[in-house]
């Protein structure tokens, strides 16, 4: 679709409807972020920023993060607001298909996990597990723009 | 002023207003308070464990505070907060929503310069610069911040009122096969697809093609 964009993660190229995901997130960003009262903790961006990850490690970390959002985050983010829920599931579907494509690319050994991406992802999981599941999931969802900014 | 009792109404509509990543915190005075209200401002980098008071915005009576310097790293996100004081009473701290300089800034239109021959006009577009602390600081074009940045260009034949639209990625455009001795007006807009950001259209720049030789 017009908003599709090739997201280059290391040797892998995944077509992803970034504009659609962005629009979906922007529509619910204020709502989602208002459910996260913790200013002093971040799942994705601290203590180490995604932007400091070497490009050779991008593919692996991107795949890890897609899996993280699909398996851990989206499932825990049901709200009483049907509009918000619809936007979340639309984003989740886009992530699901992107993960599948990235997985296929990974099978051709184009998505090597270096020490840096492994360490970074461990930190993200530690941040996530440092909170109760619902808070951690909602915070992660509220940080989707951090992931999208990095992917672009 | 000592903070005796926080019964003062809260500052309202605390938000960032950002243009080309010049990020200024704005708010409205608490309801029903006349003159004499003073304010304190603090900010926090999202995910980092401390609030920092903005020195130049302690006990101020204006209702804005420039936090461009503190929020210049657009790979981070931020919160800011304001507290009001009057006659020993105070309000609660009132926070902004989470501010992402990359997606929450507005972009000025590009600068447009035009020149003409008898049958064509040439257009050069200049993208605005990201805010910087001082003139000596190295300039960063918003083109570097938003690599996918494009331009929408409108060209109007003043005589026939016919208008063309062009969408271009590089910053120069030559419009050929025009009528000699005719005035054309050009206006341009910046368009970023993701994150979705559009500037307004620039003021029209008009130029006449040269008369036939």
Chain A residue with CA closest to B104: the answer is A26
C-alpha to C-alpha distance for B206 and B41, rounded to whole angstroms: 46
For A62-86, how does the pLDDT look when each residue is reduced to its tens digit (9 = 90+)? 889 999 999 999 999 999 999 999 9
Contacts of B103 (CB under 8 A, 6+ apart): A26, A145, A149, B195, B197
Whether the pLDDT of residue A104 is over 80: the answer is no
Is the confidence at residue B173, as pLDDT, over 60? yes
Alpha-carbon span B48 to B68, nearest angstrom: 18
Helix axes A82-107, A18-34, angle to 10 degrees: 130
pLDDT digits (tens, 9 = 90+) for B22-53: 999 999 999 999 889 999 999 999 999 899 99
pLDDT over 70, % of chain A: 86
d(C-alpha A143, C-alpha A65), whole Å: 12
Q: Closest-CA residue in chain B for A25?
A: B195
- The pTM of the full predicted model, rounded to 2 decimals, is 0.90
pLDDT of B10 > 90? The answer is yes
Does B31 reach chain A within 8 Å, measured CB to CB?
no
Select from A117, A134, A137 the least CA-distant residue to A43.
A137
**Interface pTM, i.e. ipTM:** 0.86
User: What digits encode the pLDDT tens for the residues A112-145?
Assistant: 788 888 889 999 999 999 999 999 999 999 999 9
pLDDT tens digits, one per residue of B141-170: 999 999 889 999 999 999 999 999 999 999
Residue of A18, A21, A39 to mutate when probing chain B, most B C-beta within 10 A: A39
Contact B195 A42 (CB under 8 A): no
Interchain contact, B49 vs A41, CB within 8 Å: yes
Of B44, B76, B194, the CB nearest to A22: B194
Which has the minimum average pLDDT: A7-16, B101-110, B129-138, B184-193?
Answer: A7-16
Question: Most B CBs within 10 Å: which of A15, A24, A149, A151, as the mutation test of the B interface?
Answer: A149
Q: Residue B37 and residue B15: Cα distance in Å, rounded?
A: 19
């Amino acid at each position: 679709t017009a908003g599709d964009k090739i997201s280059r993660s290391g040797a892998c190229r995944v077509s992803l409807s970034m504009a659609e995901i962005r629009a979906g997130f922007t529509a619910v960003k204020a709502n989602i972020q208002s459910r996260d009262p913790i200013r002093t903790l971040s799942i994705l961006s601290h203590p180490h920023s995604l932007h400091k990850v070497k490009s050779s490690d991008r593919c692996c970390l991107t795949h890890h993060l897609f899996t993280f959002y699909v398996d851990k985050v989206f499932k825990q983010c049901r709200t009483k607001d049907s509009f918000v829920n619809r936007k979340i599931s639309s984003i989740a579907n886009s992530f699901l298909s992107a993960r599948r494509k990235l997985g296929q690319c990974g099978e051709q050994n184009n998505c090597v996990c270096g020490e840096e991406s492994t360490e970074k992802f461990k930190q993200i999981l530690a941040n996530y597990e440092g909170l109760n599941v619902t808070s951690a999931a909602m915070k992660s969802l509220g940080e989707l723009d951090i992931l999208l900014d990095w992917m672009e | 002023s000592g903070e005796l009792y926080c019964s003062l109404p809260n500052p309202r509509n605390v938000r960032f207003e950002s243009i080309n990543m010049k990020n200024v915190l704005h708010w409205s005075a608490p309801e029903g308070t006349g003159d004499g209200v003073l304010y304190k401002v603090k900010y926090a980098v999202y995910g980092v464990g401390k609030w920092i008071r903005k020195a130049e915005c302690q006990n101020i009576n204006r209702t804005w505070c420039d936090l461009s310097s503190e929020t210049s790293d657009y790979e981070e996100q931020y919160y800011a907060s304001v507290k009001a004081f009057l006659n020993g009473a105070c309000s609660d701290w009132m926070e902004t929503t989470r501010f992402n300089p990359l997606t929450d800034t507005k972009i000025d239109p590009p600068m447009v310069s035009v020149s003409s021959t008898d049958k064509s006009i040439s257009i050069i577009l200049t993208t605005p610069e990201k805010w910087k602390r001082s003139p000596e600081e190295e300039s960063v074009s918003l083109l570097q911040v938003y690599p996918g940045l494009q331009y929408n260009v409108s060209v109007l034949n003043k005589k026939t009122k016919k208008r063309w639209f062009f969408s271009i990625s590089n910053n120069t455009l030559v419009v050929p096969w025009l009528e000699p001795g005719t005035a054309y007006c050009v206006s341009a807009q910046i368009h970023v697809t993701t994150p979705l950001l559009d500037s307004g259209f620039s003021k029209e720049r008009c130029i006449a093609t040269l008369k036939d030789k």
